[in-house]
Structure 1
C-alpha cells in the first residue's frame, strides 16, 4: 500500500465537516479520489446539517486548525490546497499565510461560502473589504454569482488571481461558467436541469478542479474536466458515476 500511495498525487482540503458527506471535506475527498488524487483534510468547522437543512457551524479556533496542518506537514510537502468554509477574513489570512510559508509556490483555490442554502449567513457586509488584501495570494477563486457580487470581485484588480464565475444561479437553458485568467475568458456550458439544486455542488466542482490541477492539467483544462464531471454528477448522482477507491 505504501508504494502505491507514494506514486499518487496529493491534495489537501481545508474546510468544514458535513456529516451527510454531501459537502465539505468528505465530498472533497470523494471527488479527489475519483480522479485518482489522494485527498487529505483539515477541519475548519463541525457543522450540524444534513442534505436538506443546515442548523449551525461550530468554527474551530486557529490553534486547532494550525495543529492539524502542522501534523500533516510532518509527512509530506503539499502543493495543492482547496479552502472551503472559513469563519472570517482573519482565518483565511492565517491559513494562506501558513500555506505560503510552507510552500510559496503552492496552488491555492478558495471556494468562498457566503452562507448556507437555508439562508444562514457566515459573513456580513462590513467584513467584505477585509478580504481584498488576501485575494492576490490566491490562485483561483470559485464564487457563484451571489458570492461574486457580495465580495465585490468586479471592482478588484486581480492580475495573478484567476476567477471561475459559476453560472448555477443564472437564468437560461445553459449553465455557463466563465474562467477569467490572465486577461482571457474561457466559457464552459452544460445543459441546465430545471428544479435541480443538489447539496454540495460548489464543493464538488472546486474539488474536481483542484484534483485536475494536481494531475498536471492547465487551469482551463482542469475547469473543463470539472465541468464535465459535475454535469454527470447532477444527472446521475454519486452512485452512477462511481466514487470507488482506485489505488492501483
Structure 2
C-alpha cells in the first residue's frame, strides 16, 4: 500500500469540467496527489459562461469539512470559490478550529474568466480574513486590487507593491499573477520571508484559458507536500501550467474558451470522433 499526498479542494463545481472542483481534481491527479473535495456552490456553467449559482448552505459546508478531516489526513488545502460572506466565515471558522491542519493555498476567486461574478460584493473584504490562514495566496491583478481597495496594477512594479501590501495583511507568501498585463511574457510576482522574485513564463497564444487560475493554485497545493519550499512548488506549478496551456488547443471542448489540457503529459493526441 502507498499513501500519496492528500489535497483538499474547497471550491465550487463547474459542469464543463474546466474550472472549479473538476479542474482541481484533474490537477491533483496529474501531479500525483489524491484529491478530496468540499463543495461550496453548484454553478450552471459552460465554456460560454456562467448562467446560475446555487450556494451550498454554510452549515453544510462546515459539516463536509468536519466529517472529512475526522477520517482523512489532509496534507494541503486549496481554497477557491466561496460565493458569499457566510461561507467565507464558515471556512475561516473551520481553519481557526484546526490550526496547523495543513498548508493552505488561497485563490481568492471573485470573477470567472468569462466575466461572471462568483463572489458576492459584501464578501469581497471578508476574504481578507482568510489571509492569515494562507501559506500562499494567488490573486490575479483585479483580485489583488479588490482585496486592497485600490486600482488595478498597470505594471510589474505596481503588482509587486500590492503583493507586499497583501503579505502585510497576514499571508505568509503571495503569488500575484501578472497575466492581465501586456507583453510577450506573463510575469508573476512572488514574495515571502526569503525575499522577492519575478516568475516569468512565455505567454502562450491560445484562447483556451478556462480555469487557469483554479489549475495553478491547485498545482501549487498538489506540489507543496513533496516540494522543498512553496517557491519551488510555485515554479514547478507554473511550468506545468504553461505546458497545459500549450496543449489546450489539442482539445475540442465546447464552443467558447476551452480548458487547459490537464493531462497533456499522459494522453496521446486525441483521436477524431464522429
Q: Same fold (TM over 0.5)?
A: yes
Figure out how many residues of one structure are paired with residues of the other and give that number. 240
Structure 1 position 25, deviation (Å) = 0.9
Retained in 2: the 8 A contact 1:173–1:192?
Answer: yes
Question: Is residue 2:200 matched to residue 1:182?
Answer: no
The superposition leaves residues 44-95 of structure 1 with CA deviations (integer Å, 9 ceiling, x where unpaired) of 1111011222112211111221222122223223231001001234422321
Question: Is residue 2:223 matched to residue 1:205?
Answer: no
- Structure 1 residue ranges, 4+ long, deviating more than 6 angstroms after superposition: none
Structure 1 position 168, deviation (Å) = 1.2
What is residue 67 of structure 1 aligned with on the other side?
Answer: 63
Give the whole-Å Cα distance in 2 for the aligned partners of 1:132 and 1:240. 35
1:133-172 to structure 2, matched below 5 A, reads 133-152=129-148, 154=162, 155-156=165-166, 157-158=168-169, 160-172=171-183
Residue range with higher mean Cα deviation, 171-180 or 160-169: 160-169
Residue range with higher mean Cα deviation, 26-35 or 193-202: 193-202
Give the whole-Å Cα distance in 2 for the aligned partners of 1:197 and 1:243. 18
User: Where in structure 1 are there 5+ consecutive unaligned residues?
Assistant: none
1:192-231 to structure 2, matched below 5 A, reads 192-194=203-205, 196-231=207-242
RMSD across aligned positions (CA)? 2.2
Change (3 A) 1:17 1:125: closer
Change (3 A) 1:122 1:19: closer
Q: Helix, strand or coil: the match of 2:221?
A: helix
What is residue 241 of structure 1 aligned with on the other side?
Answer: 265
What is residue 72 of structure 2 aligned with on the other side?
Answer: 76
Give the whole-Å Cα distance in 2 for the aligned partners of 1:65 and 1:127. 16
1:28-177 to structure 2, matched below 5 A, reads 28-123=24-119, 127-152=123-148, 154=162, 155-156=165-166, 157-158=168-169, 160-177=171-188
Structure 1 position 234, deviation (Å) = 0.5
Retained in 1: the 8 A contact 2:27–2:218?
Answer: yes
The superposition leaves residues 24-48 of structure 1 with CA deviations (integer Å, 9 ceiling, x where unpaired) of 1111111111111101111111110
Give the TM-score, by structure 1 length: 0.88
Structure 1 position 120, deviation (Å) = 2.1
